[in-house]
Chains A and B, each alone.
Chain A
Amino acid sequence: MAGNRMDPWVDSYAQRAQGLTASAIRALFAVASRPEVVSLAGGMPFVSALDSDRFADIAARVVREQGAVALQYGSGQGDQTLREQILEISGLVGVRSHPDDVIVTAGSQMGLDLVTKIFCDPGDTVLVESPSYVGALGVFRSYQCNVVHVAMDSQGLDPAALREALVTACASDSPVKLIYTIPSFHNPAGLTQSFERRQEILAIAQEFNVPILEDDPYGLLGFEGEPPQAIRSLDDQGVIYLGSFSKIIASGLRVGWVIAPHGVREKLVLAAEAATLCPSNFSQLTVSRYLAEQPWQQQIKVFQELYRERRDSLLRSMQALMPAGTTWTVPKGGFYSWVTLPHQLNATTMLPRAISSLVAYVPGTGFYADGQGAHNLRLSYCYPEPSRIEEGVRRLAGVIEAELDLVDTFGVNYVDETRGNPRPQLNPNSDLV
């Protein structure tokens, strides 16, 4: 006698759908969106800093004056004018290219998906930083890639560890197809590769003939000096570059881009057309008009200053309030700081207590494919006001103190429990990006 599994297609799903399950952590994030909770979890850009009236005016004029185009299908590769404007923006991080080599996508997340789709067969290896962006891990998992984490140091991806990983992978029967890196203001680690480090990483990738997939959504959101120059600025054949308007304009527009070598670009365009036919013309034209008419560089400066102030609030609060033994990275741009808990507390176990105390973070295990990160958590400072950040840190510090008391009471040591014990990955959602 067969029972009811509440889903008639349960035996029909592809193997890659196996990991798409409910999870208690995601359930906890449902609470994080409530106003009572200080959410230091999601990486939501502070879009309220934009002039919404101007945006409304632009959107209205796009429909009124370009409606026949805006509301119609468009080019699979993206709007020609916007691709030219994208190169103007990418030029700020040293990326020079031809508009023909730009593909507009529905956010850089789609670019990530397309690049993985055309490069990776199931079982192929992708090297990623340790930790790495949860949304990228979700893509790599959905294409059944073998994800290998490569250590970072204070300057980001460690060249010696990268070389070692490549040597090891070359000796295996799982070819390395991509080196995925976020060189500037890393998500979640908050670290930035120096220019020399970028050169070293590129040289190693070239030596092993593996393309670099450079994800650069935060590159223009530095707090000091000029934007770091992209790895792509050093090599236009060995690096595929992902960019995004999500953080420098608005994430709700869902417009990003890929800049790729000619052959890769050809395949990406075809893959993009197969996936979505074309990116949204309405969004593209809105972005294009915004760039043409508005002082977008000035707006980026507004964002930089706003996020710097919030970063300072986070760091100041942590310095004043966090229990001894807690450590964190000091980001020089972007949205995130990566925290290591004292006495190897388990950030996943601690999350329900944090939610009960009305503060949210993302546990470190979400940023690993192999169960690491149990003692880490990611804090985002991009969305809450500085005073709310301070309140959030105050609550979190109390939660850590309580967890220390609990662990001390039971004499629990998490080291043995977590080592070599892979935990289910988080499926990315907008709370986690």
Chain B
Amino acid sequence: MRIAVLSGGLNAERDVSLRSGRRVAEALRDTMPDAEIVEVDLNGEFLDSLGSATGSHSFDVVVPLIHGAIGEDATLRSMLELKGIPFVGSSAASAARSFDKGVASGLVPSGSAPKFVAFPQSFFREMGAPRILETVIEGIGLPLIVKPISGGSALGVRLCTEAEQVAPALVDAFGYGDRVMLQTAVSGTELAVTVLDIGGKPTALPPVEIVAMSGVYDFDARYTAGATEFFVPCRLDSDAVARVCDYAVAVHTSLGLRDISRTDLIVDTAGTIWFLEVNIAPGMTETSLVPQAIEAAGLSVGGVFSELVTQALTRSH
């Protein structure tokens, strides 16, 4: 069996994706010694030859670990579906729903997404940014978060505590995409909850609590070892943990996700759960959240992904 671990891509998360791919490929080699595990940097040639019976790009199953656009939206998954190549993870249709933070926020359990609006740049240009921003700031309130509607690793994300910070934050965020979200900033305990479809039903792994030493879980805090403190198990009481796990499974189900997802959320001091985003090709690097959850559940990265690979093959049959 030949398995392609697909990583890289052409966006700002390329390096993170390559590291994720390397780690998963190594883990699969340990757990599936009879399989040929090939790390592939996504390019046009790979797509052209997918599904061909022969050639260097002939694979039985693909593990997409491209983060951000192409990998986590519908693009790559649509191509794999068109070519009839089994792959690990959510379908193209589900990816389209989850990748757009605005769409996903509208589909998660009612009332759990902080108040938000999402606009393209053209709307600001044509209607006049000052009047839109005045309305938005009044309606959403400060502090607010400005972030690209899609993409990960907190790239282009800024917290605005004052009105004059919003316009520069929008300029930053539009650098990463054509639509930007302005959302009420919520504070509390920040958690990442991994959900796996293993054993016949979606199951949440132990939530990982995130405490960035700088106070902001930004790109640097995510990928610099030591810059963030993680608590697994998290420091919430058991009732709250159960609610959080149920919530992540509900997100996974309501968006129609498959195999693996990571829901990022905040639990505020009143115990309310707030949805931030969901990732369907979550980071698997040395400092990433999902590997910590897998380990805390008594599983291994290789074991989990070999199971998901087997499931993907079974699905295709």
Q: Please give the distance in Å from A39's CB to the nearest CB on chain B.
A: 13
Task: Give per-residue flags for A348-359: 1 if the beta carbon is below 8 A from chain B beta carbons, else 0.
Answer: 011111011010
Instruction: Give bound CA distance, A358 to B9, whole Å.
Output: 12
Whether A21 and B171, one on each chain, are in contact in the complex, defined by CB atoms closer than 8 angstroms, is: no
Q: Which of B219-227, B256-264, B272-280 binds A?
A: B219-227
Task: Note all chain A residues with C-beta closer than 8 A to B213.
Answer: 5
CB distance from B137 to the nearest CB of A (A): 13
- Once A6-B286, A352-B156, A409-B121 are accepted as A-B contacts, the answer to whether A31 and B12 lie under 8 Å apart by CB is yes
Residue of chain A at shortest CB distance from B41: A34
**Chain B at the A interface: mostly helix, strand, loop or mixed?**
mixed
Collect the chain B residues with CB atoms within 8 Å of residue A406's CB.
121, 171, 174
Minimum distance in angstroms from B59 CB to a CB of chain A: 22
Contact check, A352 vs B175: say whether CB atoms are below 8 A apart.
yes
Given A3-B230, A6-B230, A21-B220, CB of A411 within 8 Å of CB of B121: no
Q: How far is the CA of A409 from the CA of B219 in the complex (A)?
A: 27
Q: Does B235 touch A at the CB level, under 8 Å?
A: yes
**Contact across chains for A5 and B229 when beta carbons are under 8 A apart:** yes
When distances are taken between beta carbons in the complex, the residues of chain B under 8 Å from A170 are none
CA distance A410 to B165 in the complex (A): 11
B15 close to A410 (CB less than 8 A): no
Interface residue? B130 (CB, 8 A):
yes
When distances are taken between beta carbons in the complex, the residues of chain A under 8 Å from B286 are 6
CA distance A267 to B220 in the complex (A): 38
- Please tell me if A27 contacts chain B, counting CB pairs below 8 Å: yes
**Residue numbers in A under 8 Å from B194 (CB-CB):** none
Q: State the Cβ distance, A348 to closest chain B Cβ, in Å.
A: 9
CA–CA, A71 to B120, complex, Å? 61
Within 8 A of B (CB), among A381-423: 403, 405-407, 409-412, 414, 417
| CA A7 to CA B235, docked complex, whole Å | 20
B176 within 8 A of A: yes
| Chain B residues with CB under 8 A of A274 | none
Residue of A at shortest CB range from B165? A417
> Is A68 part of the binding interface, using a Cβ–Cβ cutoff of 8 Å?
no
A27 near B226 with CB under 8 A, answer: no
Inter-chain CA distance A23–B228, complex, in Å, is 14
Assess whether B125 is in contact with A27, with CB atoms less than 8 Å apart.
no
- List of A residues within 8 angstroms of B167 by Cβ: 410-412
Is A351 in contact with B175, judged by CB distance below 8 angstroms? yes
Cα A81 to Cα B218 with chains together (Å): 52
**CA A2 to CA B155, docked complex, whole Å:** 28
Which A residues from 298 to 357 make CB contacts under 8 A with B?
Answer: 346, 349-353, 355-356
Q: Smallest CB–CB gap between B283 and chain A, Å? A: 12
A28 engages B12 (CB within 8 Å): yes
Q: Using Cβ atoms and an 8 Å threshold, which residues of chain A touch B223?
A: 22, 27
The smallest C-beta distance from B181 to any residue of chain A, in angstroms, reads 16
> Chain A residues in contact with chain B, CB under 8 A?
1-7, 10, 21-24, 26-28, 30-31, 34, 36-37, 346, 349-353, 355-356, 358, 403, 405-407, 409-412, 414, 417, 424
Residues of B in contact with A (beta carbons under 8 Å apart): 10-16, 18, 121, 124-125, 129-130, 153, 155-156, 167-168, 170-172, 174-176, 209, 211, 213, 219-220, 222-232, 235, 286-287, 292
- Across the A-B interface, the 3 shortest Cβ-Cβ residue pairs: A10-B226, A30-B15, A7-B225
A–B pairs, 8, beta carbons within 8 Å: A4-B231, A5-B225, A23-B220, A27-B155, A28-B12, A37-B10, A352-B155, A356-B176
